[in-house]
Structure 1
Amino acid sequence: MGLALATSEPPRDWDVEDITVTEPNVIRRAIGAAAIGNVTEWYDFGVYAYFAPTIEKVFFSGMGHTTGIIATMGLFAVSFLVRPIGGMFFGPLADRIGRNKVLATTMILMALGTFCIGIIPSSNSIGIVAPLLLLAARLVQGFSTGGEYGNAMTFIAEYAPDRRRGFFGSWLEFGTFTGYLMGAIAVTIADATLSQSALLSWGWRIPFFVALPLGIVGVYLRTKLADTPAYLELEKQAEQQEQHADTKGEFKRIFRLWPYMLVCMALVAAWNVPNYMLTSYMPTYLTSALPHLQKNGAGTSAHTSEILQIIVMAILLVLIPVLGWLSDKVGRKPIVWVGSIGFILLAFPSILLIRSHGTFAIFGGLLIMGVLLICFSSTMPSTLPSLFPTSVRSGGLSIAFNVSISALAGTTSVVMTTLVNLTHDLNWPAYYLIAFGIVGAVGIFFTQEPNRRHMWGSAPAAQSREEAEEIVEELAAA
Structure 2
Amino acid sequence: MSTGSIPNNQNNHKPSAQELTVSDITIVDRKLLKRAVGAAALGNTMEWFDFGVYSYLAVIIGKVFFPDASGAAQLIASFGTFAAAFLVRPIGGMVFGPLGDRFGRQKILALTMIMMSIGTFCIGLIPDYGSIGIAAPILLLVARLVQGFSTGGEYGGAATFIAEYSTDKRRGFMGSWLEFGTLGGYLLGASLVTLMTALLPEQAMLDWGWRIPFFLAAPLGIFGLYIRLKLEETPAFKEHMEKQDALEHSKPQLGLLKMLHQNRNQILKCMGLVLLFNVSNYMLTSYMPSYLTSVLGMSELTGLLLVMVIMFVMMPLTLMWGHWTDRIGRRPVIALGAIGLLLLSIPSFMLIGSGNLLAVFAGLAVLGILHTCFSGTMPATLPALFTTHIRYSALAIGFNLSVSLFGGTTPLVTAWLVDTTQNVMMPAYYMMGAGVIGLITVLTLRETAQKPLSGSSPTVASHAEAHRLIDRLRKQRAKKSRMPQTASE
Normalising by the residue count of structure 1, what TM-score does the alignment of the two structures yield?
0.95
Amino acid aligned to 1:366: L
1:162 and 1:451 in contact (8 A); partners too: yes
Q: 1:212 Cα deviation (Å)?
A: 1.2
Counterparts of 1:234 and 1:10, CA distance in 2:
12
1:340 and 1:441 in contact (8 A); partners too: yes
Q: How does 1:294-373 map to 2 (within 5 A)?
A: 300-373=298-371
In the alignment, does 2:424 pair up with 1:418? no
Work out which of the residue numbers 19, 29, 32 in structure 1 matches 2:25.
19
Measured on the aligned residues, the alpha-carbon RMSD in Å equals: 1.4
1:220-260 deviation per Cα after TM superposition (whole angstroms, max 9, x unaligned): 11111110000011111212222599875244134201111
Which residue number in structure 1 is paired with residue 440 of structure 2? 442
In the alignment, does 2:35 pair up with 1:29? yes
Amino acid aligned to 1:360: L
Amino acid aligned to 1:40: M
In the alignment, does 2:276 pair up with 1:270? yes
Which residue number in structure 1 is paired with residue 399 of structure 2? 401
Which residue number in structure 1 is paired with residue 482 of structure 2? none
Which residue number in structure 1 is paired with residue 233 of structure 2? 227
Work out which of the residue numbers 368, 385, 388 in structure 2 matches 1:387.
385
In the alignment, does 2:50 pair up with 1:44? yes
Amino acid aligned to 1:435: G
In the alignment, does 2:147 pair up with 1:141? yes
Q: 1:217 Cα deviation (Å)?
A: 1.0
Q: How does 1:455-466 map to 2 (within 5 A)?
A: 455-466=453-464
Q: 1:110 Cα deviation (Å)?
A: 0.3
Q: Indicate the larger mover: 237-246 or 453-462.
A: 237-246
1:296-324 deviation per Cα after TM superposition (whole angstroms, max 9, x unaligned): xxxx2110111111111111011111111
Which residue number in structure 2 is paired with residue 178 of structure 1? 184
Amino acid aligned to 1:162: D
Amino acid aligned to 1:307: L
2:173 and 2:326 in contact (8 A); partners too: yes
Which residue number in structure 1 is paired with residue 473 of structure 2? 475
In the alignment, does 2:79 pair up with 1:81? no
In the alignment, does 2:153 pair up with 1:150? no
Q: 1:357 Cα deviation (Å)?
A: 1.7
Gap change, CA 1:283 and 1:388, over 3 Å in 2: same
2:13 and 2:455 in contact (8 A); partners too: no
1:254 and 1:392 in contact (8 A); partners too: no
Q: Indicate the larger mover: 306-315 or 95-104.
A: 306-315
2:330 and 2:381 in contact (8 A); partners too: yes
Specify the SS of the correspondent of 1:176: helix
Specify the SS of the correspondent of 1:119: coil
Specify the SS of the correspondent of 2:296: helix
1:119-156 deviation per Cα after TM superposition (whole angstroms, max 9, x unaligned): 10000110000000000000000000000000100000
Counterparts of 1:429 and 1:30, CA distance in 2:
37
Report sequence identity in percent: 49
Counterparts of 1:251 and 1:371, CA distance in 2:
38
Q: 1:474 Cα deviation (Å)?
A: 3.0
Normalising by the residue count of structure 2, what TM-score does the alignment of the two structures yield?
0.93
Which residue number in structure 2 is paired with residue 57 of structure 1? 63
Amino acid aligned to 1:87: G
Specify the SS of the correspondent of 2:153: helix
Structure 2, unaligned runs of 5 or more? 1-10, 478-489
1:242-299 deviation per Cα after TM superposition (whole angstroms, max 9, x unaligned): 25998752441342011111111000000000000000011111000223xxxxxxxx
1:174 and 1:317 in contact (8 A); partners too: yes
Q: Indicate the larger mover: 64-73 or 174-183.
A: 64-73
Specify the SS of the correspondent of 2:382: helix
Counterparts of 2:12 and 2:126, CA distance in 1:
53
Question: Number of paired residues?
Answer: 463
Which residue number in structure 2 is paired with residue 203 of structure 1? 209
Counterparts of 1:473 and 1:250, CA distance in 2:
41
1:316-375 deviation per Cα after TM superposition (whole angstroms, max 9, x unaligned): 011111111111111111111110100000000111111012111111111100110110
Counterparts of 1:472 and 1:232, CA distance in 2:
23
Gap change, CA 1:94 and 1:244, over 3 Å in 2: farther
Counterparts of 1:34 and 1:242, CA distance in 2:
30
Which residue number in structure 1 is paired with residue 428 of structure 2? 430
Which residue number in structure 2 is paired with residue 297 of structure 1? none
Larger radius of gyration: 2
Counterparts of 1:378 and 1:242, CA distance in 2:
39
Gap change, CA 1:237 and 1:59, over 3 Å in 2: same
2:273 and 2:438 in contact (8 A); partners too: yes
1:23 and 1:463 in contact (8 A); partners too: yes
1:36-80 deviation per Cα after TM superposition (whole angstroms, max 9, x unaligned): 000010000000000011101110011111221111010010000
Specify the SS of the correspondent of 1:452: coil
Gap change, CA 1:464 and 1:251, over 3 Å in 2: farther
Specify the SS of the correspondent of 2:354: coil
Which residue number in structure 2 is paired with residue 132 of structure 1? 138
Counterparts of 2:38 and 2:250, CA distance in 1:
31
Amino acid aligned to 1:12: P
1:238 and 1:244 in contact (8 A); partners too: no
Counterparts of 2:211 and 2:370, CA distance in 1:
33
Counterparts of 2:211 and 2:252, CA distance in 1:
43
Which residue number in structure 2 is paired with residue 280 of structure 1? 286
1:96 and 1:245 in contact (8 A); partners too: no
Which residue number in structure 1 is paired with residue 77 of structure 2? 71
Amino acid aligned to 1:241: L
Structure 1, unaligned runs of 5 or more? 1-7, 292-299
1:191-216 deviation per Cα after TM superposition (whole angstroms, max 9, x unaligned): 01111111111110001111111111
Q: How does 1:211-222 map to 2 (within 5 A)?
A: 211-222=217-228
1:92 and 1:247 in contact (8 A); partners too: no
